[in-house]
Amino acid sequence: MIPSGQKDFQDACSTMQVPRTGVFFTSIGSQEIMLARNAAGDIVAFSGFCTHSMGKLEGGPVEGDEITCPHHGARFNFRTGQAKTACPNLPKYEVKIEGRRVLVRPAR
Ligand code: FES
């Protein structure tokens, strides 16, 4: 049984859609999800909303391991979610791979 308020894993995308370098954005309900691969090549998922002012990160420029928020320029390591500017790190979501599908447990 799923505890009250806790969402279960939900289908996010195909493993093929998550690039070796760079990011892939999708949504699950009202949650924006940013997917990438960590240093080991495993798929990781973070909130696709910037922690500065909740703007969507999608469309922000990507350079090296960083994505820059297109709204006010906050920068994040897309492999770890670590903020590179003065704002909180991106919330990380649990990921489960089933066959070629990426399942993500979005925010509770
Ligand atoms: S909303 Fe991303 S930097 Fe302001």
Residue 91 resides in a domain: yes
Residue 72 resides in a domain: yes
- Condensed to tens digits (0 to 9), the pLDDT of residues 34-57 reads 999 999 999 999 999 999 999 999
Q: Residue 108 has what pLDDT?
A: 64
Q: Residue 4 has what pLDDT?
A: 41
The closest-lying atom of ligand 1 relative to the alpha carbon of residue 57 is 2
Residue ranges of the chain with per-residue pLDDT less than 50: 1-6
Position 103, amino acid: L
Give how far Cα 59 sits from Cα of 51, 53, 103, Å. 16, 16, 23
User: Atom 4 in ligand 1: which residue has the minimum CA distance?
Assistant: 72
Residue 93 resides in a domain: yes
pTM above threshold 0.75: yes
Q: Residue 59 has what pLDDT?
A: 97
- Host domain of residue 60: 10-105
CATH number of the domain that residue 32 is part of: 2.102.10.10
Give how far Cα 83 sits from Cα of 7, 40, 73, 76, 96, Å. 26, 20, 11, 4, 24
Residue 4 resides in a domain: no
Residue 46 resides in a domain: yes
Residue 57 resides in a domain: yes
Edge-to-edge, what's the strand order for the sheet holding 75-77? 62-63, 66-68, 75-77
Residue 26 resides in a domain: yes
Q: Residue 106 has what pLDDT?
A: 82
Residue 95 resides in a domain: yes
Q: Residue 33 has what pLDDT?
A: 97
Q: Residue 107 has what pLDDT?
A: 72
Which residue out of 50, 58, 90 has the highest number of ligand 1 atoms within 8 Å of its CB and is therefore the one to mutate?
Answer: 50
Number of structural domains (the chain) is: 1
